[in-house]
């Protein structure tokens, strides 16, 4: 089983749709969780951190489910500009040395007019 | 804003050459990382460093070495480039004091080995 797994997609949705991505992780001791966005042929950029109580940033909502060991990203009112690959990342060494992250392979989102 | 700068966006080298990829960050971060990213394989950690002159192997260190002589600079070295090292290489940095701090990436270097 991979340490961090995502559905690769692609998710093809119309503008205005709500779309949700999940990311499962295997290490129950993980403490830090992130969502990154990566545009084609560009570097990953931090979209948002994921906090235990869940957090929202505009149209984006991130949630953590420790019992089932997954994080989720919800995008409401999708825009064409949301088309990208979304990577989840989980820290490998809790509190730890190096701050190593394990990345999922990414979920591709394509928002159509 | 954190700035992570990689020396080249595109690089073409020949098999057997020694290749240097440079990365500089301006946020006084202790942690620095080198990844490669390939279609279908995602981001894979090659090496990381949590302090000057400190380095640890990641998941795929074979064929690579690194150097961290100064805090702001982390170099990736391909000792003898091979065609299977053609890839997108990404450098990242993060602050060591808080595990909730994310990693920040450079623009990436697209390396082709002919």
Tens-digit pLDDT profile for residues A43-83: 999 999 998 889 999 999 999 999 999 999 999 999 999 99
Q: Residue B107's closest chain A neighbor by CA?
A: A43
In this predicted structure, the answer to whether residue B97 has a pLDDT above a threshold of 90 is no
Q: Which residue has the higher pLDDT, A92 or B89?
A: B89
Residue range B6-59, pLDDT digits in tens: 999 999 999 999 999 999 999 999 999 999 999 888 899 999 998 999 999 999
Query: Contact, B30 vs B52, CB < 8 A?
Result: no
Residues of chain B above pLDDT 70, percent: 97
Q: What pLDDT shows up at residue B26?
A: 94
| Chain mean pLDDT for chain B | 93
In which band, very low, low, confident or very high, does the pLDDT at A98 lie, cut at 50, 70 and 90? low
β-pairing, B73-78 with B64-70? Answer: antiparallel
Q: Which of residues 55-94 of A touch B (CB under 8 A)?
A: 87, 89, 91, 94
* CA B96 to the chain's CA centroid: 17
In this predicted structure, the answer to whether residue B107 has a pLDDT above a threshold of 60 is yes
β-pairing, B109-113 with B10-13? Answer: parallel
Q: Count of CB contacts below 8 A, A vs B?
A: 59
Of A34, A42, A105, the CB nearest to B42: A105
In this predicted structure, the answer to whether residue B98 has a pLDDT above a threshold of 80 is no
In this predicted structure, the answer to whether residue B1 has a pLDDT above a threshold of 90 is no
Query: Contact, B20 vs B29, CB < 8 A?
Result: no
Q: What pLDDT shows up at residue B100?
A: 73
Q: What pLDDT shows up at residue A93?
A: 62
CA atoms within 13 A on the CB side of B10: 1
Whether residues A32 and B108 touch (CB distance < 8 A) is answered with: no
Q: Give which of A37, A99, A108 to mutate to test B binding, by max B Cβ within 10 Å.
A: A99
In which band, very low, low, confident or very high, does the pLDDT at B99 lie, cut at 50, 70 and 90? low
Pick from B42, B105, B53, B109: which is nearest to B81 by CA?
A: B109
Of B42, B58, B99, the CB nearest to A31: B99
């Amino acid at each position: 089983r991979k340490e961090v797994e995502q559905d690769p997609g692609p998710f093809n949705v119309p503008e205005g749709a709500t779309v949700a991505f999940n990311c499962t992780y295997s290490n129950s001791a993980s403490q830090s969780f992130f969502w990154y966005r990566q545009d084609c042929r560009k570097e990953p950029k931090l979209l948002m951190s994921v906090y235990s109580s869940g957090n929202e940033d505009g149209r984006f909502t991130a949630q953590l489910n420790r019992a089932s060991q997954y994080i989720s990203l919800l995008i409401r009112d999708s825009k064409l500009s949301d088309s990208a690959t979304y990577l989840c990342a989980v820290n490998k060494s809790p509190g730890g040395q190096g701050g190593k992250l394990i990345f999922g392979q990414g979920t591709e989102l394509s928002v159509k007019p | 804003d954190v700035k992570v700068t990689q020396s080249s966006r595109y690089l073409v080298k020949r098999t057997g050459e020694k290749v240097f990829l440079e990365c500089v960050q301006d946020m006084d971060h202790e942690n620095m990382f080198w990844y490669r990213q390939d279609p279908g394989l995602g981001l894979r950690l090659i090496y990381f460093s949590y302090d000057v002159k400190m380095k640890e192997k990641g998941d795929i260190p074979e064929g690579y070495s690194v150097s961290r002589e100064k805090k702001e600079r982390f170099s990736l070295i391909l000792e003898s480039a091979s065609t299977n090292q053609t890839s997108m290489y990404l450098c990242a940095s993060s602050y060591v004091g808080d595990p909730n701090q994310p990693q920040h990436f450079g623009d990436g270097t697209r390396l082709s080995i002919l």
